[in-house]
Structure 1
Amino acid sequence: MHHIFTRSPQLLLQAFLAISLTVGCASPPANYSEYEDSTAPVYGPYRLIKLPIQKGVTILNPIQIALSPSGDLFGANQSGEIYTLIDSDGDGVEDEARLFADLNELGLRSPAGLEFRGDSVYVGTSSEIRIFLDRNKDGKSDTSWTFFDKIPVSEHPYEWSSALNFGPDGWLYFVLTTDSWNPGASPDSLGLRGSMVKVSPDGTSFDIVATGIRSVHGMDFNADRDLFFADNKGGGNATEELNILQVGQFYGHNPRKYEGKFDVAVPPVFSLEHELAPSGLEFNSLENDFGGSAGSLFVAFYGPSERWNRGGVARVTIQKTSVGYEYKELPVVDIPKLSDLTFGKDGSLYLAQHGISDYWYNPTEVKTGGFYKLIHDPSREGKHLTKREIKEESFPEASLEKGRELFALRACSACHSIDGETDLIGPNLNGVGREFSQEELLEEINAPSNRIKASMIATKITLNDGKVLLGRVVYSDADQISIMLVGNHTVQVKKSDIEKTEEELKSLMYENLLAGLSPSEIQDLLNYLSSL
C-alpha cells in the first residue's frame, strides 16, 4: 500500500480504502495453525503461515506481491504470470492463484514492478511498462497497452524496470537497473539505465530524477512525502543502502557514465545490516498498529545471491528530528530468498519468497518459492524473540597476524581489497565477516564457481584479430567495453573491434588456493576474514 497525497476524487477513494482496510489485527483464527511455519525465527508478536496455494497458476519464483486499491492481492512470477491471490473457501487463508495476465503472450519478460491506479495495473518489464485492465470484471485482463517504452533494451536478464510507485505529484516513479556489467548493453543516448525516472500520468513525458543507481527493487513515500529507496551493495556501493531521493542528484554507482556532471555522490542515509540484497520495501500505515510498528519501514531481503539459503525482513523505525531523521533497524523474521512484501487489507504483512533459481533468476526446479503471511497475534506479546543472537567472536592477535600474512602470500590481496572503496577484479571484502559465517567463507574459497555475483561474472572477449581477453566488465556503452583483467588492469575495447563476447560461468578466482595449508593455517585465514 502506497501513500496518496493528491486530491482527485479517484485517489481520495483509494486513500479511504487504504485507511479503512489497514486496521489492527485481532487474534488469528485457530485454523491458521494448520499452515503455521514454526521453523523460521520470528522477532515480534507475530505468527507466520505459508499460504497453501494449490489451485490455479503454479507459483514459480514469485517476484512481486502488491495490494490493489480494491483490496485484492496481486502476485507475479518471474516466469511472467500475473495473478490474484484468492481465499476461495473463506477461511482467512489465500489458497488459489487466479491468472490475471500472462506476459509471455505479449513477448514480455521480467515483471519486476507492479503498481495500481484505480482499476489499472501497471507492470514494469525488461522492455516497457504496460497497463493491464479488466474491463468486463471477470478477474482477467482483457485490455492492455504500452505506457512507457523509452527503455534501452538488451537481452541481459538483470535489466529491469522495478520499484514502480506513484508519487504525490501523480507521476509514476520507477528505476531502470544498471547496465554497467553488461557487455552487450544497448545504446542509451538518454542516459536512462542506472537512473530513477518519473513518467507523467498520461505517459507522454518523463524526467530523470536521480542517477548513479545500481539495483533498486523497492521504494515508497513516507507520510512526509519523502521517497525512500534501497540500493544493493556492490559496484561502488559500500553497503546495503537506504537512500532518500534528492531530485537531480547522483548516488554513486557507475561514475564514468556521468563523468564531469557531478562533483560528489549523495551518501546513503542509513546502511541496512539485517541481511544482504534488499528487495521490496513498504511503509506500514499510521493507522495499522501491527505490533507497535505503525509508520515503520519494512524491508525484505533476498539474501546473498542464489547459493545461500538466507534472507529475511527487517523494520526500520524512522524518527523525524529538527536536523533530519534518526534510524533504528530491528529484525522481524528470517526467511530465505524474499523478493517483495506488502501489507494486506487485514493489516497483516504478506511476503513473496522467490525461492531457488539460477544466475539469471530463471527457475531451476519444477516448483519453488511461495507466499507467507505474518499475522499480529496479541497473545504473543512478551513471549517472542526480540533480537537476533549474533555470536560475538574475539580472535587471538597471533592468529589474525598469521591470517593477514596468508591473505598476502596466497595472493588474496591481489584481487580483493578490504577498504570498502577500492574496486579490484574480485569483490571488496570489507565487512565480509559480518555477512558470511566461516563455513560459508570456506565453501566460497574451495568452490568459487558455485556462486558468482552477477557483477562478478567473467566475460571472454574475442577480438577480430583473434586475440582473447578474459576478465570482468566494469563499464559498457554503445561504443566500447571496459574490461578489468587479472592483475586489475583495465583496458578499453571498441565494440567495432570485437568478434564476439561470451559470459563464462566460471569464477576468475583461482581454485585450490588452500592447497598445502594445515588446518590451523586455514583457521587463521578464516579468522582474519571474519575480523574484517
Structure 2
Amino acid sequence: MKVKKLEDYSPLKPTGIRFSVAFCLAFSSLTSCLSGCSSPKPIQADSIDRTTYIDTTVSVYGPYVAYKLPITNGVKLANPIQLALGPEGVLYGTNQTGEVYSLHDTNKDGLEDMALLYCNVKDVGLRSPSGFTSRGDTIYIGTAQQIRAFLDKDNDGKADTSWVFFDSIPHSEHPYEWTNGLSFGPDNWLYAALSTDSWNAAPSPDPNGYRGSILRISPNGKIVKKAATGIRSVYGLGFNKYGDLFFTDNEGGGNLTEELNRLVKNGYYGHNHAKYKNDTTTAPELNLETEVAPSGIEFNSFDNYFGGAGGNLFVAYYGPGERWTRGGIGRIHMLRAGDGSYTYKEYAVADIPKLSDLAFGKDGSLYLASHGKADYWYNAVYENEGSLYKLVYDPGLLHMPAKSRKMPDKALSKNAVEAGKQLFAERACLGCHQVDGATELLGPNLKDVAKRLTREEILEEILKPSERIKPSMMALRVIKKNGQTMSGRVVGSNENQLSLMLIGNHVIEIPGDEIKETVNETKSLMYEGLLTSLTETEKDALLDYIVSLSGSTAR
C-alpha cells in the first residue's frame, strides 16, 4: 500500500463542535484510522454505550470526539504528567506523585479503564517522573535527580529491576527541576531536556552548564554532550521522519513568545544569558498561539490519516498557571522544502484544561493527560486530581460547518487607547513593565499579553496581583548575615552569587557567602489597589490600551 506524503494532505479546515449528549447519541459506533490505512476503519462495536464517557464540556475544532477515560481500576490518577507508547505498543502514563502505569481496556469497548502499576520512582528515592521513553523492552524515566532504566524481566506487567542510566544532573530540592522530553534519536543516543535553574536562588553547582540545556547521551549512558543551551522550560521534544529534532519552550526570561524550535547543533536559544554568555541566539521556527505554556508534543505518523493530519505535529498546552479551565491542543501542519527549511501553519484542535502531555495510541487515536489542579509548585495536593482523554477521529463529523474559535475582541476606541496610555504612564506602570516585546523589567513585558490572557483575566491580574504569580516573576526575600533584608526578583544565580532585581529595576549581585537565608514571598511585588481611584471609564481605557499592545486595531 502506498504511503501518502505530507504534501498529499491539504490542511484540515478547522471545525468547531461543542458536543451535546443528544448529538453524540446519533453516532452508534466510533471510527479510527489504523496505521497504514488511507481511509478510516470502524472500531468494533459492542453492547457498551461509550457515549456515556463523551465530555460534553470540551470544545473540539475538527472531526473528533473527546472521551474521558473511565480509569476506575488500579492506580488512581494523581496529576498525570506523561503519556507515551512503551514496549509492545502499550500506552503508559505517569503521575506527579511518582507512579508509572500501563493502561488497559479490560472490557474491550475501545476505552481504557485500568491503570496497572509498573513502578513507583519514589521507591528508589526519586521524584517527578516527567520524562518517558523506551528502547526494546526497557523503559527510561527522567526524574529530577536522574534518568533511570526499568525492566520487566518476567513479563508480569511490573518492573522487577532497575538501574541508573544517567545521573550527572545538577540537582537541588527546587520543585521546578525536571528532566523532560526523553527521546532516542536516529543516532541511537538519548536526548533529554533539563529545565533552567535561573529561578532557583540556590542552584546546585553546574560547572558543565547542563541545566538549561538539551543533553545528548550515548546509548550506554557513559558519554554526554550538550546539543543546545539557553532553554527555559522545554517539556516536549521529538524527532520527525527526516531526523530533525523539534522542541517547545515557554515564554519568559529572554523568550519573547511561546516557541517551537528546531535543534541546531550547539545552538543557543536565548534564555539565561548570564549563565551562557552567548550573543548569537537561534530564533524560534514558529511563535505558538493556540494557547499558553506548551508542554508535550507528538508527531503523528504520515500513514495515520486522523482527519487529514498525517505527519502533523500535535502540541499540548497547559494554559496559564492556576487558571483551571485553560489549556488545549494545537496542530501544526509542516512542509519541508528541498533545502531543509520548513513552513508552518498552526490550527486549534480542542480546548481541554491543563494538558501536560499527549501520545498517539496503537489504533491511531490521540491520548491526552490533563494534569488537573495542583499547588503553585505543581505538587499533587488535591486527592485524585487529573484525567486522561482519548480523542477519536470520526469522519461522520466532516460535514459539520466551520466555527471560529477566537472570541470577538471588544472594538477599541482610538481616544480610549490614548487615554489608557496616559493612565499607564501616570500610574507608574512603565516603571515595572515594558511594552516593546523585548525588555523584561521587574514585571513581565506586556507586549501581546492579550494573546495570552482575556480582557477579564488581565483585569483580574491587576486587581489581585498575588492570586497567581508566574514562576519566574516570584519575589524572593534575601536575609544577609549582617541583618540586611531586601526583596526582589531572581534574574540570575549560581553557587557563588545571586543576582536580584530590586524595585526600580536595579540589579545587585549578592555573594553567596553573605546570604544567611532566602524566603519565597507569597505576595506579588506589584501592590494591590492600583485601580482604586479610577472610574469605570478610566479602567476600561487602561484595559483598551493594554489589549491594544497585542495588535488590536483602534477605530
Please report the TM-score for the alignment, with normalisation by the length of structure 1: 0.94
CA offset digits 1:194-251 (Å, max 9, x no partner): 0000110011111101001111010111111111110111000000010100011111
**Secondary structure of 1:374's aligned partner:** strand
Pairing of 1:62-461 with structure 2 (within 5 A)? 62-259=80-277, 262-322=278-338, 324-383=341-400, 385=402, 387-461=404-478
Q: Distance in 1 between matches of 2:330 and 2:264?
A: 24
**Secondary structure of 2:540's aligned partner:** helix
Q: Percent identity, aligned pairs only?
A: 51
Structure 2 residue runs without a partner (length 5+): 1-32, 550-555
**Residue 157 of structure 1 aligns to which amino acid in structure 2?**
P
Q: Is the 8 A contact 2:34 2:41 kept in 1?
A: no
| Number of aligned positions between the proteins | 512
- C-alpha change, 1:256 and 1:222, in structure 2 (3 Å) is same
Q: Is the 8 A contact 2:416 2:545 kept in 1?
A: yes
Q: Is the 8 A contact 1:26 1:376 kept in 2?
A: no
1:507 and 2:524 correspond = yes
What is the deviation of 1:263? 3.3
What is the deviation of 1:32? 2.3
What is the deviation of 1:309? 1.9
**Residue 158 of structure 2 aligns to which amino acid in structure 1?**
K
What is the deviation of 1:21? 4.9
**Secondary structure of 2:235's aligned partner:** strand
Q: Distance in 2 between matches of 1:21 and 1:378?
A: 16
1:498 and 2:512 correspond = no
Q: Is the 8 A contact 1:22 1:346 kept in 2?
A: no
Q: Which residue of 2 aligns with 1:26?
A: 41
**Residue 135 of structure 1 aligns to which amino acid in structure 2?**
K
Q: Distance in 2 between matches of 1:133 and 1:69?
A: 10
What is the deviation of 1:22? 6.4
**Secondary structure of 1:153's aligned partner:** coil
CA offset digits 1:420-477 (Å, max 9, x no partner): 1101010111101122111111111111111011111110000010000100001010
Runs of 4+ in 1 over 2 A off after TM superposition: 19-32, 384-387
What is the deviation of 1:148? 0.3
Q: Which residue of 1 aligns with 2:501?
A: 484
CA offset digits 1:238-272 (Å, max 9, x no partner): 0001010001111110111122xx33100001100
**Secondary structure of 1:523's aligned partner:** helix
Q: Distance in 1 between matches of 2:114 and 2:463?
A: 43
**Secondary structure of 1:144's aligned partner:** strand
**Secondary structure of 2:375's aligned partner:** coil
**Secondary structure of 1:433's aligned partner:** helix
Please report the TM-score for the alignment, with normalisation by the length of structure 2: 0.90
Q: Structure 1 stretch 286-295 or stretch 81-90: which is displaced more?
A: 81-90
Q: Is the 8 A contact 1:27 1:379 kept in 2?
A: no
**Secondary structure of 1:506's aligned partner:** coil
Q: Distance in 1 between matches of 2:314 and 2:546?
A: 31
CA offset digits 1:291-348 (Å, max 9, x no partner): 0000000000000112352010010000112452110001111001000000000000
Structure 1 residue runs without a partner (length 5+): 1-18
Q: Distance in 2 between matches of 1:401 and 1:322?
A: 48
Q: Distance in 1 between matches of 2:429 and 2:102?
A: 49
- C-alpha change, 1:20 and 1:312, in structure 2 (3 Å) is closer
Q: Distance in 2 between matches of 1:236 and 1:158?
A: 18
Q: Distance in 1 between matches of 2:401 and 2:238?
A: 29
What is the deviation of 1:287? 0.8
Q: Distance in 2 between matches of 1:360 and 1:22?
A: 42
Q: Distance in 2 between matches of 1:521 and 1:286?
A: 53
Q: Structure 1 stretch 410-419 or stretch 27-36: which is displaced more?
A: 27-36
Q: Is the 8 A contact 2:34 2:364 kept in 1?
A: no
Match 1:471 to one of 488, 491, 499? 488
Q: Is the 8 A contact 2:324 2:372 kept in 1?
A: no
**Residue 336 of structure 1 aligns to which amino acid in structure 2?**
P
CA offset digits 1:349-383 (Å, max 9, x no partner): 00000011111101232121110000011111121
Q: Distance in 2 between matches of 1:280 and 1:244?
A: 15
Q: Distance in 2 between matches of 1:367 and 1:80?
A: 13
Q: Structure 1 stretch 332-341 or stretch 66-75: which is displaced more?
A: 66-75
Q: Distance in 1 between matches of 2:295 and 2:312?
A: 16
Q: Distance in 2 between matches of 1:426 and 1:361?
A: 22
- C-alpha change, 1:21 and 1:292, in structure 2 (3 Å) is closer
**Secondary structure of 2:513's aligned partner:** helix
Q: Distance in 2 between matches of 1:504 and 1:375?
A: 44
What is the deviation of 1:387? 4.0
**Residue 178 of structure 1 aligns to which amino acid in structure 2?**
T
Q: Is the 8 A contact 1:26 1:378 kept in 2?
A: no
- C-alpha change, 1:384 and 1:63, in structure 2 (3 Å) is farther
What is the deviation of 1:394? 2.8
Q: Structure 1 stretch 317-326 or stretch 420-429: which is displaced more?
A: 317-326
**Residue 393 of structure 2 aligns to which amino acid in structure 1?**
H
**Residue 215 of structure 1 aligns to which amino acid in structure 2?**
S
Q: Is the 8 A contact 1:27 1:378 kept in 2?
A: no
**Secondary structure of 1:58's aligned partner:** coil
Q: Distance in 2 between matches of 1:307 and 1:491?
A: 33
What is the deviation of 1:391? 1.1
Pairing of 1:54-69 with structure 2 (within 5 A)? 54-69=72-87
**Secondary structure of 2:451's aligned partner:** helix
Q: Distance in 1 between matches of 2:414 and 2:505?
A: 30
Q: Is the 8 A contact 1:25 1:347 kept in 2?
A: no
User: Cα RMSD (Å) of the superposition?
Assistant: 1.4
Q: Distance in 2 between matches of 1:379 and 1:152?
A: 51
Q: Distance in 1 between matches of 2:167 and 2:112?
A: 34
Q: Distance in 2 between matches of 1:25 and 1:321?
A: 29
Q: Is the 8 A contact 1:221 1:227 kept in 2?
A: yes
Q: Distance in 1 between matches of 2:377 and 2:246?
A: 27
Q: Distance in 1 between matches of 2:404 and 2:245?
A: 28
